[in-house]
């Protein structure tokens, strides 16, 4: 019995009891696929479960278990081995080309694939184009789906950080509701501003400045998080992701992590298309050296309070010095 059969077998009384704690939403993703080898994935089911009490949320796509290691890298020939959204076609430039995610996390999930198999080095122009194409993708889908207002851009760099394919690619998602992390930011900001009549992000930056964990570089606010989930976390705040100063800072940090051979996650939470009082935020979350496959998440990280073993002040000093050069 699969999940849907189980749901269908429950009585109204059971469903009513379940809904006291869990919100379960089922979406059907339809791919318009012409490539024969991918035809069986044309229809996929996405399940979103939220615990109304604990506020924990998860998204399941059972089809993702079918992701297989290919002998050849599918992203090295994206036009042959990836599908695209017919409504907007492919968005492409000198460094990046778009495709639809064959195994999506959510209803609107695309990717920007780097045209080379690896980052040997990165330069400002690569990310300038990345953010321009991302903005195009978000705007095109927003015009078609005015209820989808929350843009998200992210990368899992290397296997330790959750990348299923080594070839660099950024995930593009546009959703009706903010994902859990952004939702917490929105709710926290509202509560803080109601209580103190001040901007939460402005005060957070000032607090971290007093702890010598925040600084400005080329007008961009940079903070080493005092409360990361695990390892080092960098938070960037900017008025626009297309701002040249932001792109330069982002590029330098990305280059630093490549040089040091780190695996990492990067996430950019764009201002929603409808008014919410949050800035554009970018996050880097370091997962350690790429060659070190020792697990970095334990029982305390999952169910308790994270246990950290690094000095954030020392890390901030090193980063500030690098960005000044």
DSSP string, 136-202: HHHHHHHHH-TT--EEEEEEEESGGGT-SSSS-EEEEEEESS--HHHHHHHHHHHHHHHHHSS-HHH
- Do residues 127 and 157 both lie within one domain? yes
CATH code, 98: 3.30.428.10
In this predicted model, which residue has the larger pLDDT, 307 or 167? 167
Residue 233, in any domain of the structure: yes
20-34, 38-52, 68-82, 154-168: least confidently modelled range: 68-82
Residue 229, pLDDT > 90, answer no
Residue 86, pLDDT > 70, answer yes
- Per-residue pLDDT of 170-224, as tens digits, reads 999 999 999 999 999 999 999 999 999 999 999 999 999 999 999 999 999 999 9
- Do residues 156 and 280 both lie within one domain? yes
Percentage with pLDDT > 90 across the chain: 62
- Do residues 44 and 149 both lie within one domain? no
H or E stretch covering 22: strand 22-30
- Do residues 92 and 199 both lie within one domain? yes
Residue 1, in any domain of the structure: no
5-19, 104-118, 140-154: least confidently modelled range: 5-19
Residue 6, in any domain of the structure: no
Residue 8, in any domain of the structure: no
- Interval 108-118 mean pLDDT: 95
Residue 293, pLDDT > 70, answer no
- Do residues 19 and 127 both lie within one domain? no
Number of domains in the chain: 2
- Do residues 129 and 245 both lie within one domain? yes
- Do residues 182 and 310 both lie within one domain? yes
- Do residues 47 and 156 both lie within one domain? no
- Interval 95-113 mean pLDDT: 94
149-153, 157-161, 291-295: least confidently modelled range: 291-295
- Interval 105-134 mean pLDDT: 93
How far is 32 from 116, CA to CA, in rounded Å?
Answer: 27
- Do residues 76 and 22 both lie within one domain? no
- Do residues 83 and 43 both lie within one domain? no
Question: Is the pTM higher than 0.95?
Answer: no
Tokens 């990165």 found at: 122
pLDDT bin (cut points 50, 70, 90) of residue 272 is very high
pLDDT bin (cut points 50, 70, 90) of residue 98 is very high
Distance of CA 60 to the CA centre of its chain: 16
Tokens 């929350």 found at: 150
CA dist 238 → 222, 275, 281 (Å)? 9, 17, 7
Residue 310, pLDDT > 80, answer no
Task: Determine the structural domain holding residue 19 and report its residue range.
Answer: 13-61
Tokens 């492409």 found at: 92
Helix 244-259 to helix 312-324 angle (10° resolution) is: 120
Tokens 């999940």 found at: 3
* Cβ contact 200:193 at 8 Å: yes
- Do residues 53 and 81 both lie within one domain? no
Residue 121, pLDDT > 90, answer no
């Amino acid at each position: 019995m699969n999940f849907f059969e189980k749901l269908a077998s429950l009585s109204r009384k059971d469903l009513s009891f379940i809904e006291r704690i869990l919100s379960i939403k089922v979406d059907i993703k339809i791919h318009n696929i012409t490539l024969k080898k991918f035809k069986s994935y044309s229809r996929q089911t996405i399940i979103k479960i939220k615990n109304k009490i604990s506020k924990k949320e998860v998204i399941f796509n059972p089809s993702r278990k079918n992701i297989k290691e290919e002998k050849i890298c599918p992203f090295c020939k994206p036009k042959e081995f990836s599908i695209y959204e017919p409504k907007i076609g492919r968005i492409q430039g000198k460094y990046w080309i778009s495709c639809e995610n064959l195994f999506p996390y959510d209803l609107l999930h695309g990717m920007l694939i780097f045209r080379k198999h690896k980052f040997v080095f990165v330069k400002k122009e690569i990310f300038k184009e990345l953010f321009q194409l991302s903005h195009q993708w978000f705007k095109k889908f927003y015009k078609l789906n005015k209820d989808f207002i929350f843009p998200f851009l992210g990368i899992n760099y290397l296997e330790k950080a959750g990348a299923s394919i080594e070839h660099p690619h950024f995930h593009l998602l546009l959703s009706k509701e903010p994902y859990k992390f952004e939702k917490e930011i929105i709710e926290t900001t509202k509560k803080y501003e109601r209580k103190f009549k001040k901007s939460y992000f402005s005060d957070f930056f000032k607090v971290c400045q007093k702890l010598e964990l925040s600084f400005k570089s080329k007008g961009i606010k940079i903070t080493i998080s005092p409360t990361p989930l695990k390892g080092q976390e960098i938070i960037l705040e900017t008025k626009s992701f297309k701002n040249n100063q932001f792109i330069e800072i982002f590029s330098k940090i990305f280059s630093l992590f490549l040089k040091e051979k780190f695996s990492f996650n990067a996430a950019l939470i764009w201002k929603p298309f409808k008014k919410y009082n949050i800035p554009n935020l970018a996050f880097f979350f370091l997962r350690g050296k790429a060659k070190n496959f020792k697990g970095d998440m334990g029982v305390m990280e999952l169910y308790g309070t994270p246990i950290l073993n690094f000095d954030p002040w020392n890390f901030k000093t090193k980063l500030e010095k690098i960005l000044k050069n």
